[in-house]
């Protein structure tokens, strides 16, 4: 694994991927969260590339993260999907967590759909619910953009419309069209890998978080610096610590993720089809 997460390095990675996917140029990027990898099976004419064959990508170790790049067609669009992402809790530098988005941009991606498994902080949310990400709180207090400014990236990125208003509308419509009730709320990203204490969850609620997780924000920061529009969904796999008395377990997170999968896949496919 290299430690060069520059845009130039991303272009080299993109060239290696392009050599495996013929002339197809993906315009939509999709990042699949824990337990949500099943969407990859819906991608037609898929070319599957294990991360071991993607220069610059480490092989992920988190359970429930396959570590495959899938290029093909979904909802009539050419997409590149990541089943398995790079978390800072694995010991990866923040810049690596955002690096795949540079690669996607170099491949032609201009719209990014992000997803994650998250704990419900909002007391009205239940395990098995879905939430459109309205905005985020970067409680990782780091940023993959720290370091030399990369070509094509803004140095001081406006994060005011990070989760694009218009795309959130498309997600709402896609959910309605499939008869799926969906929340809209704020995702807070923490490092993990431990889940939160009850006091931390109370604090997060006070800060305005509706859901919490350990990913997504680094990828969104890079996407916005590159001018990629972003939309995302959190799969609420559990009530956050203290919301109920149940302990939070990774097995439950993956299991509920799978129960959510059919609704999630229907919405994302419809959303991609509706993109202009």
Interface residues with ligand HPA (CB under 6 A)? 117-119, 195-196, 212-214, 237-238, 240, 248, 253
Half-sphere exposure of 201 (CA within 13 A, CB side): 23
Nearer to ligand HPA, 103 or 204 (CB): 204
Identify whether 89 is a catalytic site residue.
yes
Identify whether 116 is a catalytic site residue.
no
Identify whether 2 is a catalytic site residue.
no
Identify whether 215 is a catalytic site residue.
yes
Least distance CB 235 / ligand HPA (angstroms)? 8
Q: List the structure tokens of 160.
A: 């005011």
Chain-centre distance of CA 78, in angstroms? Answer: 18
Identify whether 174 is a catalytic site residue.
no
Identify whether 87 is a catalytic site residue.
yes
Q: Is there a contact between 128 and 256 (Cβ–Cβ < 8 Å)? A: yes
- Cβ atoms within 10 Å of 149's Cβ, excluding its own: 12
Name the residue among 77, 47, 71 with its Cα closest to residue 269. 77
Least distance CB 217 / ligand HPA (angstroms)? 12
Least distance CB 55 / ligand HPA (angstroms)? 30
Nearer to ligand HPA, 139 or 182 (CB): 139
Identify whether 194 is a catalytic site residue.
no
Nearer to ligand HPA, 5 or 187 (CB): 187
Choice among 250, 252, 261, 273 that is catalytic: 250
Choice among 11, 73, 90, 153 that is catalytic: 90
Nearer to ligand HPA, 104 or 209 (CB): 209
Nearer to ligand HPA, 200 or 265 (CB): 200
Identify whether 90 is a catalytic site residue.
yes
Choice among 238, 239, 240, 270 that is catalytic: 238
Taking CB positions, which residue lies at the least distance from ligand HPA? 119
* CA–CA gap between residue 13 and residue 156 (Å, rounded): 26
Least distance CB 123 / ligand HPA (angstroms)? 14
Name the residue among 100, 94, 97, 65 with its Cα closest to residue 80. 100
How would you write 53-65 as a 3-class SS string?
HCCCCCCCCCCCC
Q: Which residues, in sequence order, are CB contacts of 17 under 8 Å at separation 6+?
A: 49, 54, 69, 71, 80, 103, 107
Half-sphere exposure of 24 (CA within 13 A, CB side): 20
Least distance CB 152 / ligand HPA (angstroms)? 32
Considering all CA atoms of the chain, what is the largest pairwise distance in Å, rounded to the nearest integer?
53
Active-site annotation, residues: 34, 65, 87, 89-90, 117, 214-215, 238, 250
């Amino acid at each position: 694994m290299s430690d060069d997460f520059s845009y130039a390095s991303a272009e080299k990675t993109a060239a290696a991927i392009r050599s495996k996917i013929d002339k197809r140029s993906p315009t939509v990027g999709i990042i699949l969260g824990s337990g949500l990898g099943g969407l990859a099976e819906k991608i037609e004419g898929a070319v599957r590339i294990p991360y071991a064959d993607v220069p610059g990508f480490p092989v992920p170790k988190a359970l429930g993260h396959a570590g495959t790049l899938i290029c093909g067609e979904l909802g009539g669009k050419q997409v590149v999907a990541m089943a398995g992402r790079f978390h800072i809790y694995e010991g990866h530098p923040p810049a690596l967590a955002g690096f795949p988005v540079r690669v996607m941009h170099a491949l032609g991606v201009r719209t990014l759909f992000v997803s994650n498994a998250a704990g419900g902080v909002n007391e009205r949310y239940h395990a098995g619910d879905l939430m459109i990400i309205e905005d985020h709180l970067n409680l990782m207090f780091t940023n993959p953009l720290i370091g030399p400014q990369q070509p094509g990236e803004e140095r001081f990125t406006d994060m005011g419309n990070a989760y694009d208003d218009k795309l959130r509308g498309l997600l709402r419509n896609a959910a309605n069209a499939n008869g799926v009730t969906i929340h809209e709320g704020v995702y807070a990203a923490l490092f993990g890998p431990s889940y939160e204490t009850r006091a931390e969850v109370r604090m997060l609620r006070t800060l305005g978080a509706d859901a919490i997780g350990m990913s997504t924000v680094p990828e969104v920061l890079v996407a916005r610096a590159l001018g990629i529009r972003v939309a995302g969904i959190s799969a609420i796999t559990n009530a956050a610590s203290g919301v109920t008395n149940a302990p939070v377990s990774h097995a439950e997170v993956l299991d509920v993720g799978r129960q959510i999968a059919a609704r999630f896949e229907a919405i994302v496919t419809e959303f991609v089809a509706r993109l202009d």
